[in-house]
Amino acid sequence: MKKEYSKKILDEINAKFPEVIIKIHSPRRTYISISREKVYDFVEFLYKEKGFRFSIATGIDTRDGIEIIYHFSHDEAGTYYNIKVLVPKDDLKIKSMTMLLPATDWIEREIHELLGVDFIGHPNLVPLLTAETWPADLYPLRRDYADEHKNIKIKKKLWEES
Partner 1 sequence: MRRIVPIGPYHPLQEEPEFFKLIVEGEKVVDLEINIGYNHRGHEFISQTLTWDQIPFLVERICGICSDSHPYAYVLAVEDCAHITAPPRAQYIRTIIGELERIHSHYLWLGLAGHFIGYNTVWMWVWRYREPLLDLFELIMGNRNHYAINKIGGARRDILPEDYPKIEKYLDLLEKKNAMFTNAILDDPVIRARLENVGILSKEDAIAYGVLGPTARGSGYACDIRKDDPYDAYDKVDWNMIVFEEGDVLAKAKVRLIECNESIKIVRQCLKNMPDGPIETRVDEIPPGEGIGRHEAPRGEVFHYVRSDGSNMPVRHKVRAPSFMNVASNVVAVKGYSIADAALVLAAVDPCYCCTERTFVYENGKKKYSGQDLLKLSWEKTEKIKRRYGK
Q: Binding residues for partner 1, per CB under 8 A?
A: 3, 25-26, 28-29, 31, 51, 53-56, 58, 60, 69, 71, 73, 75-76, 78-80, 82, 101-103, 105-107, 127-131, 140-141, 146
Least distance (Å) between residue 122 CB and partner 1: 14
Least distance between partner 1 and beta carbon 157 (Å) = 14
Q: How far is the CB of 15 from partner 1 (least distance, A)?
A: 25
CB of 3 to partner 1, least distance (A): 7
How far is CA 11 from each of CA 7, 15, 20, 71, 74, rounded to the nearest angstrom?
6, 6, 11, 19, 16
